[in-house]
Amino acid sequence: MRVLVQPQRFDAAQLLQGFGAGAGAVVTFTGLVRGEDGLVALDIEHYPGMTEKALRAHAEAAAARFGLSDVLVVHRHGHLAVGEPIMMVATAARHRRAAFDAADFLMDWLKSRAPFWKREIGPEGPGDWVAARDDDEDALARW
Amino acid sequence: MTLEILYFAWLRERIGAPRESVETSAATVADLVAELVARDDRHAAALSDMRAIRVAVDQELSGLDSPLAGAREVAFFPPMTGG
């Protein structure tokens, strides 16, 4: 299991080298800063200490629940331009269903329970803080 | 007891500081919020709608009725927007 919280870009290929060796299925998901009208970048704030602890606890919960042989969570913070990768999860399991479900589960949790806060940066500078979405909360209730 | 209070995102901006140390005898998070709100207008405005605010006690998500006995760090922040 590996959990990384960092401002730097990550190299997905390098992180996935040897990941899930011996598993039958590896699923990866990467989230990017979505290009939207007037959006230049996102500033992502986090809670140092709690973030790492919460991510690790949840990665462990996903591993136990879905019988994963390995799990990786990388989440960036700081100033991220449109198109840059924000985060990645990777899950390894014997079969694809568990790997897909575990990645989905991790993503739903990250959206509304991981201590990160996004702020929109426009051409004129800092704009609004991104509001939490009800459908993200609903998605979490599925599990 | 001395508690380290942390604020994130728009709460940090409204309070005007990322953290502060407070001397308190609050038994629960709700007691602490009442003490902070009574301090000054900035705290009162920032913490006026606790339905829009999440709390962590010693880095664990908690509720308004969570006890503070033995706690060292309490954080207030808006609903998270990770992923």
User: CATH code at A88?
Assistant: 3.90.1170.40
SS (H, E, C) chain B: CEEEEEECHHHHHHHCCCEEEEECCCCEHHHHHHHHHHHCHHHHHHCCCHHHCEEEECCEEECCCCECCCCCEEEEECCCCCC
pLDDT band at A138 (very low <50, low <70, confident <90, very high): confident
ipTM of the predicted structure? 0.94
> Domains of chain B (ranges plus CATH)?
2-77 (3.10.20.30)
Say what the pLDDT of residue A140 is.
87
pLDDT band at B9 (very low <50, low <70, confident <90, very high): very high
Which whole number is the average pLDDT over A84-93? Answer: 98
Residue A7 burial (CB < 10 Å; 0-12/13-18/19+)?
Answer: exposed
Average pLDDT, chain B: 97
List the 21-60 stretch of B: residues with Cβ below 8 A of A: 56, 59
| Residue B68 φ then ψ, to 5° | -110, 0
CA atoms of A59 and A74, how far apart (whole Å): 11
Q: How many CB atoms lie within 10 A of CB A84?
A: 13
In chain A, which residue's Cα lies nearest the Cα of B79? A132
Give residue B18's identity as a one-letter amino acid code.
Answer: P
In chain A, which residue's Cα lies nearest the Cα of B55? A115
Which stretch of DSSP H or E encloses residue A91?
strand A85-93
Whether residues A111 and B75 touch (CB distance < 8 A) is answered with no
Say what the pLDDT of residue B8 is.
98
Contacts of B6 in chain A (CB under 8 A): 47
In chain A, which residue's Cα lies nearest the Cα of B62? A113
Say what the pLDDT of residue A139 is.
87
Say what the pLDDT of residue A91 is.
98
Which whole number is the average pLDDT over B54-61? Answer: 97
The distance of B63 to chain A (nearest Cα, Å) reads 14
Which whole number is the average pLDDT over A75-99? Answer: 98
Whether residues B82 and A111 touch (CB distance < 8 A) is answered with yes
Question: Is the pLDDT reported for residue A98 higher than 90?
Answer: yes
Count Cβ–Cβ pairs < 8 Å, chain A vs chain B. Answer: 66
Residue range(s) defining the domain that contains residue A108: 2-141
Does the CB of A119 have a partner CB in chain B at under 8 Å? yes
Q: Number of folded domains in chain A?
A: 1
Of B18, B15, B56, nearest to B39 by C-alpha is: B15
